[in-house]
Structure 1
Amino acid sequence: METGALISFLAIDLLLVCVPGADWAYAIAAGLRGRSVAAAVSGLVAGYALHTALAAAGLAVLVAGSPVLLTALTVAGACYLVWLGWGVLRRPGVPGADEEAVRGGSAGVFLRGATISGLNPKGLLLYLSVLPQFLTTDGHHLPVPVQTATLGLLHMACCAAVYLTVGAAARAVLRARPAAARAVTRTSGAAMLGIGAFLLVQHAL
């Protein structure tokens, strides 16, 4: 792959990752719950690792060519966001609360993160629409699966860097301010619920 293509992809990818969404909301919520940031971000990255593996195996092309399957995955992700956002709104918690012990510890935090990113419509957009535009198939470059894996790894690295920063910043700035932290957590929950509801309405029209 050409260096220019990698830089262009990285620039677009960073823009997408830096747009607040479900991943941001989850990283912020994790930052307000003690030591769950690493587990939460690891889960988010793991979800994109699955996307990368499937894309490298050629399944992304299959999904992109099947409107029914793509719609089903998007709706499933939207429903999960609505459910998760409603749960956060009902129980916003307080900074440092040991909610991990109630909800399965770090493993539960990791699995929720993987589910969020694995079903994240923004992730589907990246892997099915944006990433293929940077692949070269003229026979003079690396095999397409290798190119796909390389771009997927770049995306995972961007996600790890941005979401760790977001989670750490939320913990550092808001843990000393319970009222503000609770408001931010509710906003994060509302964002997840709103994104999910918007996607459901969009597909219903």
Structure 2
Amino acid sequence: MDAFASIAMLIFVSAATPGPNNVVVLRKAVSGGVRSVLPALAGIVLGGIAMLVLAQVGLATVLASNPRLHTAMVLAGAAYLVWMGVVLIARAGTAMPAHTGESDARGAIAMFGFQFTNPKAWTLALTVVGASQAMAVPSAMTSAGLLLMFAVISSACLMAWALLGTYARRVLTDATGLLRLDRAMGVLLVASATALLFPL
């Protein structure tokens, strides 16, 4: 039970604190409300589950035994975060296009794929699996139970960010407010990348 609570807290802290997924969800909610966020949310959660499965079947061991590969993944992910941040700053204040069913499907797939370039998501997946193995959590916990816990906690945290976005949407009634929000989100992405690189 202690191990379960510790891993749940680890997932919560990672999912609730600012990061690229939360920035994307917040920005989408500002443009289109909660419903526009649902495809992206599904893609993020399913991508995270896929990463946990990969970590469970041995990727964590491969990365632990190959520090250069792990460093390369962190560098590539951080570079992508910087690129996203710079683009968001450069396009600050630009309204996102309206969503259609087809674009929603593409958005879900895009966010699923984005998880695999997201260093924060990789760090979470590898840490959670490593922690569960180190604490000798029963096998049921390291498989379906762990995946379900991740899905529930991550979905709840992302939805909280979406609700924050809808609130910001009501408050930001002019172009200047949206411009400032976009710039702040862009800076946050760049800061996230810098924080990931700092331990290197």
Shared fold (TM-score greater than 0.5)?
Answer: yes
TM-score (norm: length of structure 1): 0.79
Q: Which residue of 2 aligns with 1:173?
A: 168
Per the TM alignment, residue 193 of structure 1 is displaced from its structure 2 partner at its CA by 2.3
Render the CA deviation track for 1:25-59: whole Å, top value 9, x for unaligned.
Answer: 11111111214311121121122022112022222
Q: If each structure's helix is expressed as a fraction of its own residues, which one has the higher value?
A: 2
Query: What residue identity is the alignment partner of 1:80?
Result: Y
Identity of aligned residues (%): 25
Render the CA deviation track for 1:132-171: whole Å, top value 9, x for unaligned.
Answer: 2223787x9436xx61442233122211111112112212
Contact 1:22/1:116 (8 A) holds in 2: no
Distance 1:151 1:180, change over 3 A: same
Alignment of 1:31-180 (within 5 A): 31-34=29-32, 35-94=35-94, 97-98=96-97, 100=99, 105-135=103-133, 141-142=138-139, 147-177=142-172, 178=174, 179-180=176-177
Gaps of 5+ in 1: none
Q: Which residue of 1 aligns with 2:4?
A: 6
Contact 2:78/2:194 (8 A) holds in 1: yes
CA distance in 2, matches of 1:108, 1:83: 21
Per the TM alignment, residue 82 of structure 1 is displaced from its structure 2 partner at its CA by 1.4
Contact 1:37/1:168 (8 A) holds in 2: no
Distance 1:149 1:77, change over 3 A: farther
Distance 1:194 1:180, change over 3 A: same
TM-score (norm: length of structure 2): 0.81
Distance 1:194 1:135, change over 3 A: same
Q: Which residue of 1 aligns with 2:190?
A: 193
Q: Which of 19, 27, 30 is equivalent to 1:29?
A: 27
CA distance in 2, matches of 1:107, 1:33: 18
Per the TM alignment, residue 172 of structure 1 is displaced from its structure 2 partner at its CA by 3.2
CA distance in 1, matches of 2:80, 2:144: 27
Contact 2:64/2:70 (8 A) holds in 1: yes
Query: What residue identity is the alignment partner of 1:98?
Result: P
Per the TM alignment, residue 176 of structure 1 is displaced from its structure 2 partner at its CA by 4.8
Distance 1:39 1:180, change over 3 A: same
More displaced 10-residue stretch of structure 1: 80-89 or 188-197: 188-197
Paired positions, count: 195
Gaps of 5+ in 2: none
